[in-house]
Amino acid sequence: MEHFSSALKLTDLDDFITPSQMCVKPEIIGVQQDKRAKIEVKSDGTYLEISSNGKVEVLESAKISLNDCLACSGCVTTAESILITAQSTSEFVTQISKKDKTVVVSLSPQSRASLAAYYKLSILQVHRKLTTFFKKIGVDYLFDTSFSRDISLLESAHEFIARYKKTSDLPLPMFASSCPGWICYAEKTHQEILPNISTTKSPQQIMGTIVKEYFASQIHVEPSKIYHVTIMPCFDKKLEASRDDFYDDILKSHDVDLVLATNEIPDLLDKFKYDLMSLEESPLSNMFSNIEVSSDNQNNKNETNEIILGTSGSGSGGYLEFIYKYAAKELFNIPIDKIEYKQSRNVDLKVITLEHEGKKLLSFAIANGFKNIQNIIRKMKQKKGELEYDFIEIMACPSGCLNGGGQLKPPKEKSGKELLKEVEKNYHDVVVKSPLENERVKKMYDIWLNGIFTPDSKTKLHTQYHARKKLELNTLANIKW
């Protein structure tokens, strides 16, 4: 449980999620607290409240369940105060040792990039070695959430077009929905904007639906007899997987049974006494993955060539770039080859505008980190629901998912920024291909969903959000960043 907290630092009231930072525990402070009281932190991490009359009181750590958590990559609480035993490496080991279910692991491209930087390997080598490792410990299939990301991008793009053309009851601007930390924050603190959040599921949850519904039927196994595990760049994904919306009463199964953060993979290797560097590389499966596999039979060689496909854009899935290009072509018949953001000193707020003959047609933005998120929401409230942007890709983590709190931390000799650059380089070390060109995705839509943004896809690939009761305690949930 010790690795389930990382990432909050309040020293300069800046954004708080980087793999190199440590977590600060929230403490319960009475509603009728002394306004002049001071908070002191002892060397052992204990918080003391010193009142104006000199009285010293040890503050009690807040006890927050997984479903109560604000969910910003472990920012709300430490391991002692969050109840997530069902989302741990120990639980994973326990479940696969039973050997009573088909075990499926889905690997995110952000995690793959972080592991490649950590082990100083290419992303292809990491994927191949992990394939070997998981097969050795009893995993039946290793999939790639780049595949479900392409589906999420297509659904999101069509959803945006429907909102823009007002063929949907849902309003603009449309906010991206793949970050569970942002979703939890919106549900608890800004319920009035929930209709603006895209209903399209995240790549993790779309992969969960594919595994438990489509794949289960293909291999003739009951969904409840499949144990589905994902490897993700942030702890928030554990929260996302536990949502009631992603439990199917008919199938009697969660879409995703367990989530492992990237930084738990080295621990998992240690548990089974394997060294990733010394493991051989296994051929990759091209089922539910963006990996092209071809055979080279020239000169009597029977070699397998594997290429990892990816999308352009941010390390959080490239939602802005794909939807922007798709909307420009679909709505205005303007092809976009290259994205050029407006220059800004704020690296976590990027803006792109489509103009034609002096008229602004579209305005999109990326807003990473809670400081930018709160500024966006504040402006939206001031303008009574209207905003200068049509679409905003929002992520709780500064620099997006590649910098998630579940990613591997830098060694002592390397800074967080240096590590992030390596992770970004690895993430983009792919052959860029549009989701529109993904033949496997096209086939999936044809045989399972009857097309993109159809009644079937809306039933299986979309979700809903709920206004949740605000915490009454003076906890981090109410901090203005």
Does residue 187 sit within a domain? yes
For residues 219 and 318, state if they share a domain: no
Q: Does some domain include residue 400?
A: yes
Flag whether 48 is in a domain: no
Residues 247 and 347 in one domain: no
Give Cα 175 distance to the centre of its chain: 15
3-state DSSP helix/strand/coil % of the chain, to nearest 5:
40, 20, 45
Kindly state whether residue 412 falls inside one of the protein's structural domains: yes
56 domain residue, yes or no: no
In this structure, is residue 276 part of a structural domain? yes
Query: What domain range includes position 265?
Result: 85-148+202-310+453-461
pLDDT at 9: 30
Q: Supply the pLDDT for residue 34.
A: 54
Mark whether 368 and 347 lie in a shared domain. Answer: yes
Q: Which of 328, 258, 235, 334 is nearest to 3 (CA)?
A: 235
One domain for residues 332 and 194: yes
User: Which contiguous run of DSSP H or E holds residue 63?
Assistant: none
Structure tokens belonging to residue 235? 């702890």
Same domain, 271 and 353: no
CATH of the domain at 126: 3.40.50.1780
Mark whether 132 and 239 lie in a shared domain. yes
Q: Where are the beta strands (DSSP E) in 233-387?
A: 247-248, 253-254, 258-261, 291-296, 303-310, 349-356, 359-368
130 and 273 inside one domain = yes
- Indicate whether 105 and 91 sit together in one domain: yes
- Residue indicated by tokens 């089922």: 287
In whole angstroms, give the CA distance from residue 339 to residue 324: 9
425 lies in the same domain as 398? yes
Kindly calculate the radius of gyration of the chain based on its CA atoms and give it in whole angstroms.
23
Domain for residue 338, yes or no? yes
Do 77 and 64 contact (CB within 8 A), yes or no? yes
pTM, entire model: 0.83
Three-class secondary structure assignment of 201-260: CCHHHHHHHHHHHHHHHHCCCCHHHEEEEEEECCCHHHHHHCCHHHEECCCCEECCCEEE
Which pLDDT does position 35 carry in this prediction? 53
Under-50 pLDDT residues of the chain? 1-32, 64-65, 68-83, 471-481
Name the nearest CA neighbour of 394 among 111, 198, 150. 198
In a domain, 33, yes or no: no
Cα distance between residue 92 and residue 102, in whole Å: 13
Same domain, 231 and 250: yes
Instruction: Specify the number of domains making up the chain.
Output: 2
Given this model, what pLDDT does residue 77 score? 36
Which tokens go with 455?
């009644």
The reported pLDDT for the residue numbered 463 is 97
Note whether 244 and 300 are same-domain residues: yes
The CATH code of the domain that includes 338 is: 3.40.950.10
Given this model, what pLDDT does residue 23 score? 39
196/273 same-domain check? no
